Structure 1
Amino acid sequence: MLTAFARAFKTPDLRKKLLFTLGIIVLFRLGQHIPIPGIDYKNVQTCMDLAKGQQGLFGLVNMFSGGALLQITIFALGIMPYITASIILQLLTVVIPRLEALKKEGQAGQSKITQYTRYLTIALAILQGTGLVATARSGSLFQSCPVGGQIVRDDSIFTTAVMVITMTAGTALIMWLGELVTDRGIGNGMSILMFVSIAAGFPSAMWSIKQQGKIMGAGWSSAW
């Protein structure tokens, strides 16, 4: 594998595509660590430390966002709105004749469907962003955290709008980065970004499993 990777770097065209893809991945990971305006980052980190391994459904979604969801960063929504929009459009293609006709038109029709997917992604991002802000404000995002209700600094409509717009813009930026990788990099851009998000949480998940195994082992030892 390393030999094939080294050979790829020796080819100018492949090297350019690999470096471009790696650059997009770096930008993507950087955006997953930049908090949005209006968030008390210190309280978020406190709650993250207290709730490790106990996030439930939010923890699962957090894995697909590369840890950005619970940290409420500009890429907090990750690629989930795009994936959801793609699934919805695929299902609607079966029941809506107009979409089915577009699908049969080839490249031109597929471009139209892709455009509809983008619009639906933005709409879903606004909806999910609003839900995330409301959940964080109510303290339900970290129920066991004593400062869980103090994550959002300001409850004003303006601050809420800025937070939602920032996360929506982050989702739009992720779509653009994915399309850039598809056009100028290697492989399917959105699939690569999804893999990066999941892989980013893999080391911490393994460490959490190891720590829980130690605790359970100590419990069994003390019981015997």
Structure 2
Amino acid sequence: MKVIETIKNIWKIEELKDRIIMTFSLLLVYRFGAQVVLPFIDSTQLAGFASNFEGGGIGSILNAFTGGAFANASVFALGIMPYISASIVVQLMGIAVPYLQKLQKEGESGRRKINQITRWLTIGICLIQAPSYLLSLGTLGVPPEAYLIDNQTLILVVGTIILVTGCVFAMWLGEKITDKGIGNGISLLIMVGIIATLPQAFAQEFVSRIDGVGGPFVMIIEVVIWLLVILACIMLVMAVRKIPVQYARRTASGGYEKNVFGSRQFLPLKLNASGVMPIIFAQALMFVPQALGTLDSDWAVSVATAFSDIFGFWYNLVFALLIIVFTYFYTAITVPTNKMADDLKRNGGFIPGIRPGTETSEYLDRIMSQITLPGSIFLALVAIVPAFVSLMGVTQSWALFYGGTSMLIMVGVAIDTMQQINSYLLNRHYDGLIKTGKNRKAVA
């Protein structure tokens, strides 16, 4: 079989084999750490605490991103999310802070400095989130008898140190996977955390269908719909608009020949250039209405109640609109059409029928605006698919895997990792994962 042959080819490449083994080893360490409970908590008393994160809600989303570590009161309870938050903040600050803009233009040395700033900001965010998490354990359902020590100050100090260390260690694991393994380490940690809760959610849905309404036939329909959503997400991630680009032919002296056409290439503009970031931004803002519930006002309480159900109408309507808005915003700040036009002009390239320079920049900006509209709508629909499937009687924990950030992260990371493995195979004259066929022969 071609799959077995491809696996054998992967194993023949010593460097690729070592990188894959390293990746799985570090991911295993991360998953092991997600099961290690904080030292001052009795793990046998956490059943009620963990049950609060089942069946939907903001807590279930946080728990899914940490692979269950949030509900386990684990040393990795904060997961890698503080690092993601810090990365987003640094990226947005790069638009307005001249120092960060300067670092972005300094190449590898600038990138290392930005990474160092991101790490320190991650620690700062952890120092805020860790005490908040520890103080909320009681209100979230951890019984008093679960605490092995009766000193809240000691719990806060020790717990904060452990949680911050756990996040920094997880960040280190992600960076090591990127350097020594295969794929983007931080993204893989998030994906593995999401996938870790998938078997349990699927088992709960399967049992509910077998013992309840629908039976195996409805379960098969649900799986088919899930696969179709995955296919739609793959199309969203991979879809590009190809802009034809013509390059003038260089002369022997290094100049350009006038009126002589050179190679014709394409400039790919992604339909969803912003990735999952609009969903993450929108998700963060959706915490605000729920925070209004703490105010002493009937109006605030009613708003908080309406937005407390992540499968409710108002929550998903506002969520979808925010995603569309943030898609335009994030695309505008991350797709440098001016720089793309300057690079084309500098390299002797031009879009047929469009003058180089400002006119090219305006043309690219107009095209990006046109393709961002359907891309943003498609992204919003993918994000609210769980609300629709929950109307079919699907358990809420299983419904979360039908769309949203979880689905897009899993699809995006899987495609990125496969492309990296594919490049190793093609460089060694083997067929890649994406295309099948016989081994490629080396060119003499």
Question: What TM-score, normalized by structure 2, do the two folds share?
Answer: 0.45
Distance (Å, rounded) in 2 between the aligned partners of 1:189 and 1:98: 27
Q: CA deviation at 1:123?
A: 1.1
Q: Unmatched 5+ residue regions in structure 1? A: 219-224
SS in 2 for 1:140: helix
CA distance in 1, matches of 2:210, 2:54: 14
Which one of 17, 20, 23 corresponds to residue 21 of structure 1?
23
Residue 47 of structure 1 deviates from its aligned partner by 3.4
Question: Counterparts in 2 of 1:80-159, with a 5 A limit?
Answer: 80-136=81-137, 139-142=138-141, 148-153=143-148, 154-159=150-155
Letter in 1 for 2:131: T
Q: Distance in 2 between matches of 1:126 and 1:55?
A: 27
Matched residues in 2 for 1:209 and 1:41: separation?
26
Q: Structure 1 99/52 Cα, relative in aligned 2: closer, same or farther at 3 Å?
A: closer
4+ long deviations beyond 6 Å:
none
Q: What SS class does the counterpart of residue 54 from structure 2 fall into?
A: coil
Distance in 2 (CA, whole Å) between partners of 1:65 and 1:168 is 14
Q: Which moved more, 1:2-11 or 1:22-31?
A: 2-11
Amino acid at match of 1:53: E
2: distance between equivalents of 1:2 and 1:126?
Answer: 48
1:160 is matched with 156
| Greater helix proportion | 1
Contact 2:40 2:147 in 1 (8 A): yes
- Provide the residue aligned with 1:59 in structure 2: 60
Following superposition, the deviation at residue 30 of structure 1 comes to 0.4
Deviation by residue 1:138-161 (Cα, 9 ceiling, x = unmatched)? x2223xxxx645444434312221
Contact 2:53–2:63 (8 Å) recurs in 1? no
TM-score norm. by structure 1 comes to 0.86
Distance 1:34 1:148 in 2: 19
Q: Which amino acid aligns with 1:96?
A: V
What's the counterpart of residue 199 of structure 2? 203
SS class of match (2:70) = helix
Do the aligned residues in 1 keep the contact of 2:35 with 2:69 (CA within 8 Å)? yes
State how far apart, in whole Å, the 2-side matches of 1:125 and 1:211 are.
Answer: 38
Unaligned 5+ runs, structure 2: 215-444
Whole-angstrom distance in 2 between the partners of 1:214 and 1:53 = 20
Shift, 1:212, TM fit: 4.9
Shift of 1:4: 2.2
Q: Decide whether the 8 Å contact of 1:9 with 1:15 is kept in 2.
A: yes
Decide whether aligned partners of structure 1 residues 214 and 123 sit closer, same or farther in structure 2, where only a CA change above 3 A counts: farther
Q: Contact 1:40–1:152 (CA<8 Å) still a contact in 2?
A: yes
Identity of aligned residues (%): 33
Q: How far, CA to CA, are the matches of 2:38 and 2:4 in structure 1?
A: 38
Which residue of the partner structure matches residue 44 of structure 1? 46
Displacement of 1:122: 1.0
Determine the C-alpha separation between the residues in 2 that align with 1:30 and 1:166.
Answer: 15
**Aligned CA-pair RMSD:** 2.0
Change beyond 3 A, Cα 1:108–1:157: same
Structure 1 residue 216, shift from structure 2 partner: 6.5
User: One-letter code of the match for 2:38?
Assistant: I
Among 13, 25, 38, which residue is 1:11 paired with? 13
Structure 1 letter corresponding to 2:166? G
Structure 1 residue 15 displacement after superposition: 1.1
For 1:6, the aligned partner's letter is: K
> How far apart are 1:83 and its partner, in Å?
0.5
CA–CA separation in structure 1 for the residues paired with 2:132 and 2:209: 34
Number of residues of Structure 1 aligned to a counterpart in Structure 2 = 211
Could you tell me how far apart the structure 1 residues matched to 2:32 and 2:177 are? 16
Separation of aligned partners in 1, 2:198 and 2:61: 12
The structure with higher relative contact order (CA 8 Å, sep 6+) is 1
Highest CA radius of gyration, 1 or 2? 2
What is the SS of the residue equivalent to 2:41?
A: coil
**CA shift digits 1:91-119 (9 cap, x unpaired):** 11111111111111111111111000000
Which amino acid is 1:21 matched to?
Answer: T
Q: What is the identity, as a one-letter code, of the residue corresponding to 1:78?
A: G
1:193 aligns with 2:194: no
Distance 2:76 2:208 in 1: 29
Displacement after TM superposition at 1:19 (Å): 0.8
Whether the aligned pair in 2 keeps the contact of 1:68 and 1:78 (CA below 8 Å) is yes
